[in-house]
């Protein structure tokens, strides 16, 4: 319980990664973070996760590569990015002027490419961690190829672990039969943190034209449509592994973020909400703070994994009456 009137502590510790608060932007939803500067002060949120970086620049898929769906969005960007060298040379020096944790999402077609990316970022000043995108559904090589196989997950995690001293986050795909097998493989191979979930595979058909909606056919589904499935998977993973978990999947409000936190996530990432409201992550942080105040929680960390089963003991009464 917090002393009456004291602001709740919002800082979180995820193994070796300390954040000033639990709200980050999700990879691929705000470029390299600088795109958010016209909208809000990025130093107020817990962290920025970059669009996935590859060794060389990638043009991505031809349009159409984004489509709205009921309560969500389908995308098949094809990992368009400027490449790790341009990120380090052009974007990172600007990001360094802002007091925000920068997590570099990395994508390789092979284990060696992942390791090279991690090594390059290790030497760059101003990176707080790397997030392995082993779950992109939109590439012929790499991506989800790793994330659906425990052995491949283990190999790539170990190679990155050996290539960097930075905190290693492994981002899991929901497109698997048993996510706990992949989570265990990543944790045992040296992942410091797991983030989940990446997008669910989906497809849209334009019945009028008789064609597929995305140029690539299928893509990744995100947004509120996936939230109950994401909360379920976060709960399963957080109940299985000891490493801290970051919850991702259709978070639009502070209440949504709390769902993940109570289910076991130590922090959250906000993605699709940013497309319609670039400052959504900051608003959601404010709503989390209000929630803690209402519950009389002295610190957000008290709430992590504090989910009660229906019929179990009632939650602690809010302070102050």
Q: List active site positions.
A: 136
- Under 8 Å between Cβ of 17 and 46: no
Sign of CA dihedral 177, 183, 185, 191: positive
CB 142 within 8 A of CB 131: no
The reply to whether 28 sits near ligand DHB by the rule CB under 6 A is yes
Site membership for ligand DHB, residue 274 (CB under 6 A): no
13: Cβ–Cβ under 8 A, 6 or more apart, which residues? 19, 244, 266, 301
Cα gap 54→162, rounded to integer Å: 18
β-strands 12-14, 17-19 pairing: antiparallel
Report the residue number, 227 or 295, with the smaller CB distance to ligand DHB: 227
Helix (H, G, I), strand (E, B) or coil at 211: strand
Position 142 contacts ligand DHB (CB under 6 A): no
Place of tokens 């309560």: 71
Name the DSSP letter for residue 197. Answer: -
Of positions 22, 72, 147, 220, contacts ligand DHB by CB under 6 A? 220
Hey, what are 17's tokens? 């990664």
Least separation in angstroms between CB 269 and ligand DHB: 12
CB closer to ligand DHB out of 2 and 198: 198
Q: How far apart are CA 129 and CA 166, in angstroms?
A: 5
Q: Which two tokens stand for residue 181?
A: 């097998």
Closest approach of ligand DHB to the CB of residue 77, in Å: 4
Closest CA to 258 of 302, 318, 313, 319: 302
Query: Per rule CB under 6 A, is residue 250 in the interface with ligand DHB?
Result: no
The one segment of 94-102, 129-137, 161-169, 238-246 that binds ligand DHB by CB under 6 A: 129-137
Q: Determine the Cα–Cα distance for residues 263 and 283; give it in Å rounded to an integer.
A: 21
Cβ-based nearer residue to ligand DHB, 24 or 282: 24
Residues in 176-205 that interact with ligand DHB by CB under 6 A: 198-199
Cβ closer to ligand DHB: 1 or 152?
152
Are 68 and 48 in contact by the 8 Å Cβ rule? The answer is no
Cis peptide before 319 (omega within 30 of 0): no
Nearer CB in complex with ligand DHB: 221/304? 221
Q: From the CB of 273, what's the least distance to ligand DHB, in Å?
A: 15
Q: How far is the CB of 35 from ligand DHB (least distance, A)?
A: 16
Nearer Cβ to ligand DHB (196/257): 196
**In the complex with ligand DHB, which residue's Cβ is closer, 218 or 306?**
218
Hey, which residues between 62 and 91 contact ligand DHB (CB under 6 A)?
75-79
Which range, of 130-138, 178-186, 230-238, 296-304, touches ligand DHB by CB under 6 A?
130-138
Residue 55 Cβ, how far from ligand DHB at the closest point, in Å? 16
Considering only the stretches 5-13, 118-126, 131-139, 308-316, report the one whose residues sit in contact with ligand DHB under the rule CB under 6 A: 131-139
d(CA 298, CA 244): 20
Q: Of 2, 21, 138, 269, which one interacts with ligand DHB (CB under 6 A)?
A: 138
- Closest distance between ligand DHB and the C-beta of residue 60, in Å? 7
Look up tokens 């978070």; give the residue.
251
Closest CA to 170 of 90, 105, 91: 105
Give the binding site for ligand DHB (CB under 6 A): 28, 75-79, 133, 135-138, 198-199, 220
């Amino acid at each position: 319980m917090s002393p009456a009137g004291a602001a709740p502590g919002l800082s979180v510790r995820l193994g070796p990664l300390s954040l000033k608060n639990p709200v980050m932007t999700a990879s691929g939803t705000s470029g390299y973070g600088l795109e958010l500067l016209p909208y809000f002060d990025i130093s107020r949120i817990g962290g920025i996760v970059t669009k996935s970086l590859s060794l060389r620049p990638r043009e991505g898929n031809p349009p159409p590569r984004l489509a709205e769906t009921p309560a969500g969005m389908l995308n098949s960007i094809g990992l368009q990015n400027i490449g790790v060298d341009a990120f380090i040379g052009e974007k990172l020096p600007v990001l360094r002027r802002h007091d925000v944790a920068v997590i570099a999402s990395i994508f390789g077609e092979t284990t060696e490419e992942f390791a090279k990316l991690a090594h390059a970022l290790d030497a760059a000043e101003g990176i707080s961690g790397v997030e392995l995108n082993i779950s992109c559904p939109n590439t012929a090589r790499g991506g989800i190829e790793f994330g659906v196989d425990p052995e491949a997950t283990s190999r790539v995690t170990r190679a990155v672990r050996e290539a960097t001293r930075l905190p290693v986050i492994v981002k899991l795909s929901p497109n698997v039969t048993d996510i706990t097998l992949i989570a265990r493989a990543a944790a045992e191979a040296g992942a410091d943190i797991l983030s989940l979930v990446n997008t669910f595979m989906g497809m849209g058909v334009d019945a009028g034209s008789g064609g597929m909606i995305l140029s690539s056919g299928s893509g990744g589904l995100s947004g509120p449509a996936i939230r109950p499935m994401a909360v379920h998977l976060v709960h399963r993973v957080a109940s299985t592994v000891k490493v801290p978990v970051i919850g991702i999947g259709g978070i639009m409000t502070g209440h949504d973020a709390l769902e993940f936190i109570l289910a076991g996530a130590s922090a959250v990432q906000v993605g699709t909400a940013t497309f319609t409201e670039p400052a959504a992550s900051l608003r959601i942080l404010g709503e989390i703070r209000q929630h803690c105040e209402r519950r009389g929680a002295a610190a957000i960390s008290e709430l992590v994994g504090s989910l009660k089963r229906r019929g179990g003991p009632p939650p602690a009464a809010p302070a102050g009456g």
